[in-house]
Amino acid sequence: MIAIGGAIGTGLFLGSGTAIRESGPSIILAYAISGMFCFFLMRAIGELLLSDIRLHSFIDFIKRYMGDKFEFVTGWTYWLCWINIAMADLTASGIYVKFWFPNFPQWATPLIIIIALLITNTASVKIFGEMESWFSFIKVIAILALIGIGGYLIITGYSGGGTKASLNNLIAFGGLFPKEIHGFLISFQMVLFAFAGIEMVGITAGETEDPKHNLPKAINSLPIRIALFYVGSMIVIMSIYPWNALSSSQSPFVTVFNDVGIQQAAGIINFVVLTAALSACNSAIFSTSRTMFALAKGGNAPKIFKRIGHNQVPNIALNFSSLVLLIVVVLNYFVPNDVFGLISGMATINFVFVWIVLIVCHILYRRSQNIENLIFKMPGYPVSDYMTILFFAAVLVVLMLDKSMLLSLIISAIWFTLLLVVYKFRNVKKEVKL
């Protein structure tokens, strides 16, 4: 269920209307292509993790095959990735709650969520897993309901948006690429932001009871989940409504449910996206604490962060990450309208960087191994690895050409520079001591 939750982001429920308006039906192809390369990414992570189940996360493998510097930079960048995701979704949560309580302060909701999730995550890893399972269950039910209702409307020839529901609507209004190649390329940044967090199975694997069974099962079901949840929902939505008839200011899920007579559609979807945001925050608190724990074990974070409580949870790392998240409470108090765009842009850039490093790590691992002793082999190696790197690198280039991403790119560049400076300064201090 954690794997399923990682494959379903808030962007699908909330931002898909805007994404469809900007790229048209070509976004279906973008989801399919991105899903294929994310599957290769996960197979590479899976092979790494199962090659030595004594290591608890992919951060440990980066240190082994790429060295201390890459573990330091990638580990802290991955920590920042999840801090960014949590901040973006905490900000969104404050907006979602205002749907029911318009006068409730936007900064108060993130504060309440951080405290609640910190308490539950401190209790035990089992509670984290239970919560994530329920969050994932709610998201899955919402998507399956959309696909089921949408499929019925298509079969019965329902007339939505003034047009008869039909698969023909996917190409009847300007073809598959109505926004041409530019719209298609721009859609990848939205798509990959929706996939952010898909690799979290590589952090949780060390705490599962049977990683040799559970990890391959979770990863191998990824193509089915992407085909159903993303590709399937987009096909249904744009078969019911012409892509250019959908509102960019309203979730297409709300539009579909409203038109079949579910008057509480907006409230239901608002609850689902709030659940998706809580899921992302829950995952972020878990992932950041485990990342800091792995860094501390490798000597790339203060030793205090590798202390484990009686509940087998790295409590100090958990408390520190939660404390950092309180920054978003302050930002939502002073600049509530500017937080989401900046933070989500940084998250996308940093996640793609981490994904590229993981594929490179897998290549170095394969070069050092006897191919006969491999477990859960990466399909198509080495072509699949190099094609995946090329794809993610191309997405980064597209992001650099987008003016709205400029500030996020600048901040990300400053972050990488700062990490390298800190690493070099730390090594100089070590040499002085010696």
Residue with tokens 């691992």: 365
Tokens 């990490």 belong to which residue?
419
User: Is 323 in contact with 123 (CB distance < 8 Å)?
Assistant: no
pLDDT tens-digit profile, the chain (434 residues)? 555 555 566 666 666 777 788 889 999 999 899 989 999 999 998 888 888 877 767 888 888 999 989 989 998 998 888 888 888 778 878 878 888 888 888 888 888 888 888 887 777 667 767 777 787 788 888 888 888 888 888 888 877 556 788 889 899 888 989 998 888 888 887 788 778 777 776 565 555 667 777 778 878 888 888 888 888 888 988 888 888 887 766 667 777 777 667 767 778 877 887 887 788 787 788 888 888 888 888 888 888 888 887 777 788 888 888 888 888 787 777 766 666 667 777 888 888 999 999 999 999 999 887 666 677 888 998 999 999 999 999 998 888 877 777 888 888 889 999 999 998 887 766 555 55
Query: Are the C-beta atoms of 328 and 79 separated by less than 8 Å?
Result: no
Instruction: For the chain, give every domain's residue range.
Output: 2-433
Q: Which residues, 6 or more positions from 91, have their beta carbon under 8 angstroms from its beta carbon? A: 106, 110, 328, 331, 332, 336, 339, 340, 343
Concatenating the DSSP letter of every residue in 237-248 gives: HHHHS-GGGS-T
Which single residue is written with the structure tokens 């709650």? 97
Average pLDDT of the chain?
81
* Interacting residues of 159 by C-beta distance below 8 A, sequence separation 6+: 165
Which of the four CATH numbers 1.10.3260.10, 1.20.1740.10, 1.10.3720.10, 3.40.228.10 does domain 2-433 have?
1.20.1740.10
For 170-219, write each residue's pLDDT tens digit: 998 889 899 988 888 888 877 887 787 777 765 655 556 677 777 788 78
Amino acid letter, 108: A
